[in-house]
């Protein structure tokens, strides 16, 4: 296993940041930690990159123990923290040279690995890192995390605050890195990125809710979900919440995702009920669960 985490717990004073976390990441896998702010993702990254001691449990990266073998781990992993942590007043090229030197290597030696990404920021190599746009900072940070050819790459919310075009490009880069035999642990608060991982762990309040492939996780959803729409969204949500048979009611873009508590649910009954609430243009269609539906059902 590239990463193995066994019963890890970590608390800060009263806050239990991680509670009995266990999972494994296979060699060459893209494994996603999917959860909102405050779920414990960053704490977990800091434990795995040897920056923080766990209170309990054992964690290994490339078979090295995070407490006893921390120096070895630091040599074989790359870490891109959520907060931009490069030197703002060094240029693009100076930052990269700095990180290469720290790890006893040179840009030339591992240029192959970063080439695809670096060519995109090379035109700005003399610009100070602090003056780069969000998308470019992210690319530079990834280059710096890769320059010593790590076996495992830790990416803490690499796409937060980045527009959809840059996000898509970023995931394409990760897929290419995977083909170069790098194992990737990546966290994101965006559920739509879960589908791009090989396996994911849904995490909230320091606990793992479920671990599986994205396809299997949505298949485990226990109920039939219906897309409901009507002429007034606010009234529709309130009416559905007042409906005695509802199991869950969540706005989902132009629809409301509705599940019913009965086994013999007939959508026509719901239409009739909504009509008594003075709603019109009512449409009810079956739909399939998304990762977000699953997350909310598990977090309930």
- Which positions lie near another protein, rule CB under 8 A? 35-39, 133-135, 160-166, 168, 189-192, 204, 232-235, 237, 250-254, 292, 295-296, 299-300
Q: What's the min distance (Å) between Cβ of 28 and another protein? A: 27
Residue 118: both structure tokens together: 């670096």
Specify the DSSP element, H or E, that contains 266: none
Q: What's the min distance (Å) between Cβ of 158 and another protein? A: 14
Q: What's the min distance (Å) between Cβ of 106 and another protein? A: 32
Q: Which is nearer to another protein, 37 or 112 (CB)?
A: 37
Q: Which is nearer to another protein, 26 or 220 (CB)?
A: 220
Beta bridge partners of 250: 257
Residue 64: both structure tokens together: 């090295």
Q: Which is nearer to another protein, 129 or 162 (CB)?
A: 162
Beta strands in 37-169 (DSSP E): 56-61, 64-65, 77-80, 152-156
CA dist., res. 89 & res. 94, Å (int): 9
CA dist., res. 20 & res. 10, Å (int): 9
Instruction: Please count the residues of the chain.
Output: 300
Q: What's the min distance (Å) between Cβ of 231 and another protein? A: 12
Q: Which is nearer to another protein, 27 or 251 (CB)?
A: 251
Q: What's the min distance (Å) between Cβ of 38 and another protein? A: 6
Q: Which is nearer to another protein, 105 or 160 (CB)?
A: 160
CA dist., res. 193 & res. 167, Å (int): 9
Q: What's the min distance (Å) between Cβ of 233 and another protein? A: 5
The phi, psi pair for 236, rounded to 5°, reads -60, -45
Residue 54: both structure tokens together: 């766990």
Q: Which is nearer to another protein, 27 or 134 (CB)?
A: 134
From the list 56, 73, 55, 71, the residue with the least C-alpha distance to 3 is 73
């Amino acid at each position: 296993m590239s990463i193995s985490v066994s019963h890890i717990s970590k608390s800060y004073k009263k806050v239990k940041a991680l509670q009995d976390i266990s999972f494994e990441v296979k060699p060459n896998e893209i494994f996603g930690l999917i959860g909102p702010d405050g779920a414990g993702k960053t704490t977990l990254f800091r434990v795995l990159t040897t920056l923080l001691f766990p209170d309990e449990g054992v964690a290994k990266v490339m078979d090295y123990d995070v407490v006893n073998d921390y120096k070895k781990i630091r040599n074989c992993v790359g870490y891109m923290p959520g907060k931009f942590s490069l030197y703002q007043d060094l240029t693009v090229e100076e930052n990269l040279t700095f990180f290469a030197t720290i790890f006893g290597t040179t840009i030339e030696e591992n240029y192959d690995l970063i080439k695809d990404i670096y060519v995109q920021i090379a035109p700005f190599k003399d610009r100070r890192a602090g003056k780069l746009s969000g998308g470019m900072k992210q690319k530079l940070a990834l280059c710096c995390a890769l320059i010593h050819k790590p076996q495992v790459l830790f990416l803490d919310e690499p796409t937060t605050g980045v527009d959809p075009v840059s996000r898509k490009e970023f995931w394409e880069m990760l897929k290419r890195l995977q083909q170069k035999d790098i194992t990737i642990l990546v966290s994101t608060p965006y559920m739509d990125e879960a589908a791009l991982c090989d396996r994911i762990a849904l995490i909230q309040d320091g606990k793992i809710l479920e671990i599986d492939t994205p396809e299997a996780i949505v298949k485990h959803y226990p109920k039939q979900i219906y897309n409901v729409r009507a002429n007034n969204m606010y009234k529709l949500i309130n009416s559905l919440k007042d409906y005695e048979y509802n199991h869950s009611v969540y706005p989902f873009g132009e629809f409301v995702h509705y599940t019913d508590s009965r086994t013999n649910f007939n959508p026509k009954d719901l239409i009739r009920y909504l009509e008594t609430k003075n709603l019109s243009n009512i449409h009810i269609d079956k739909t399939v669960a998304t990762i977000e539906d699953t997350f909310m059902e598990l977090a309930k």
